[in-house]
Amino acid sequence: MALFTFFFSLLFLFSISTANAQSFIGVNYGLVADNLPSPSDAAKLLQSTSIQKVRLYGADPTIIKSLAGTGVGIVIGVANGDLPSLASDLSVASQWINTNVLPFYPASDIILINVGNEVSLKAFSCFFSRKIRKLISSGLIQILLSNDLNLVNQLLPAMQNVQKALEAVSLGGKIKVSTVHAMTVLGQSDPPSAGSFAPGYQAGLKGILQFLSETGSPFVINPYPFFAYLGDQRPETLSFCLFQPNPGRVDSNTGIKYMNMFDAQVDAVHSALKSMGFENVEVVVAETGWPTSGDNNVVGPSVENAKTYNGNLIAHLRSMVGTPLRPGKPIDTYIFALFDENLKPGPSFERSFGLFKPDLSMAYDIGLTKTSSSGSQTSQSPSLGKSATSVGWCVPKEDATVDQLQASLDWVCGQGIDCGPITPGGVCFEPNSVMSHTAYAMNLYFQKSPENPTDCDFSQTARITSDNPSYSNCVYPRAGWSGDESLGGALNKYVTSDKAIETNGSECSSFLSLPLFMIIFFFVLPISHHMNF
């Protein structure tokens, strides 16, 4: 009875989280451009997507009003230049709330006020590699530096006054107050478990963290794997940054293997918070993205890389897998940006982060539109309705090495794909071999969008076959397959010769595999991740 109740509770929680699976995907709405669509058109665009939160860098009244009644959560910002007056005078903070919040709330769902943006940003932090520092110092990468220590010191008093102003109008707790930090706030980020804040900032940060803890507000950060790649342009680093199959990087302290840079950066922040005694403070990603174009001397910006990064990021978020240090806990993430901003200063890639063009068309499709089939299938096991196109199964190539297969297996199962059937006790666990397990995982990932052959590439170690690799009770799903086809000859490549072929075997039960996967993920994986970095 207790076991049944436990399974039922897991399924209940899963159904709730799935129903709200899009709530943590947001987008930045910048205005440094002269060709943007009207706020009302932008609001209609947002409503046509699965984006449910938008971050503004200021508090533009026209945009806030245009989002009224849409259900889109709105983050507004206080300009850095307003910090001194807000910090010194509570009445100024009250006036700011009276002007920028009260006329619109609650029709416009304002959820967070960021007091200042990257006020604590410091040049040449240990977070950046030597090459990144060189790019910064040469002017190729331009970042806003807050050299005014007085401004940094006024950050907490300004946040406190904004909080008091909200409480005075009974909005304390309904609208959170925080501030946005650059990743340079970290003094160390590698390995993630050793993440810590820069020594020169820890004293001032402690008061801010105490404020966030007391008010239940998030620690807001801007991780950019793109900039990490600029400092280390090896092919394996690009795959690590783009959520593509890669060997992974193991934390030498914990043994946890990281399969993507985003998780590593976010967990470095989690570790830094823990080191200060504030591990329960939530982390929110205010900005992350990848540019579609850039100057000739900058490697990395491209439409393909931007589509891959943002598409895989969204799939990662929708999977609800969380990060290795926060498994099962999704992270509110705001992608940069809604539109290109053609007037932004700096290198050309700074003007090329937009998900949409000024004419409201997509810069590239990553499944954000509500009518997009890719968007509806990204986070879950593939829909296998007969209306889908039948193109075959994805299986490993015969010459793929064990290391390549293991890397692909680790990556796929880290994307939220249900790998329960290939875990001990699962219907596809036997034969217990890397080849067999990887074949099942590769195919399950591919079937999310079988019309896209690149999803069966895996660094050129996989191929599409028309031979059904299913065997016994282990059914390899395929879009459009009704389950009544004969089992093909491909299965001998993935199972031992003594495995009986049962053409009438029952399909893998999603009802049983879901609790099994959740149990393994939440209780076994945190223990089994202790490996060598």
Q: Please report the DSSP string for 367-401 in residue order.
A: S-BTT-HHHHHSSSSPP--TTS----EEEE-TT--
- Active-site position among 236, 287, 304, 507: 287
Q: Are 218 and 177 in contact (CB under 8 A)?
A: no
CA distance 265 to 288: 11
- Active-site position among 118, 167, 214, 398: 118
End-to-end Cα spacing for the chain:
42
Angle at 102 between CA 24 and CA 87, to 5 degrees: 85
Q: Are 513 and 426 in contact (CB under 8 A)?
A: yes
Sign for the pseudo-dihedral over CA of 436, 438, 440, 443: negative
Catalytic residue check, 287:
yes
Residue whose pair of structure tokens reads 């309705």 in the numeric block: 385
CA distance 429 to 473: 11
Q: Are 10 and 2 in contact (CB under 8 A)?
A: no
Q: Are 420 and 516 in contact (CB under 8 A)?
A: yes
Q: Please report the DSSP string for 149-179 in residue order.
A: HHHHHTHHHHHHHHHHHHHHTT-BTTBEEEE
Which pLDDT score, from 0 to 100, does residue 123 have? Answer: 32
The residues facing 322 across adjacent strands are 327
Q: What SS3 class is residue 482?
A: coil
Catalytic residue check, 304:
no
Which pLDDT score, from 0 to 100, does residue 413 have? Answer: 83
CA distance 185 to 118: 9
**Which pTM was predicted?**
0.71
Which pLDDT score, from 0 to 100, does residue 132 have? Answer: 46
If we measure between CA atoms, which residue out of 127, 134, 139, 293 comes closest to residue 194?
127
Which pLDDT score, from 0 to 100, does residue 121 have? Answer: 62
Which pLDDT score, from 0 to 100, does residue 371 have? Answer: 61
CA distance 57 to 61: 12
**Spans of the chain below 50 pLDDT:** 1-23, 122-147, 372-390, 482-493, 496-533
Q: Hey, what's the torsion of the CAs at 318, 321, 324, 328, to 10 degrees?
A: 120
CA distance 108 to 65: 6
Instruction: For the beta carbon of residue 498, count every other beta carbon within 10 angstroms.
Output: 6
CA distance 384 to 390: 9
Q: Please report the DSSP string for 415-475 in residue order.
A: TT---GGGSTTSTT--S--HHHHHHHHHHHHHTTSTT-GGGG-TTTTEEEESS---BTTB-
Q: Are 75 and 55 in contact (CB under 8 A)?
A: yes
Which pLDDT score, from 0 to 100, does residue 101 have? Answer: 98
CA distance 211 to 196: 19
Pull the structure tokens for residue 227. 């900039």
Which pLDDT score, from 0 to 100, does residue 426 have? Answer: 84
Q: Please report the DSSP string for 90-145 in residue order.
A: HHHHHHHHHHHTTTTTTTS-EEEEEEEESTT--TT-TTS-HHHHHHHHHTSS----
What radius of gyration do the chain's Cα atoms show?
A: 24
Which pLDDT score, from 0 to 100, does residue 419 have? Answer: 84
Q: What SS3 class is residue 299?
A: coil
Which pLDDT score, from 0 to 100, does residue 494 have? Answer: 54
CA distance 422 to 320: 20
Per-residue pLDDT reduced to its tens digit, 343-399: 999 999 999 999 999 999 999 999 898 864 333 333 333 333 333 334 789 999 988
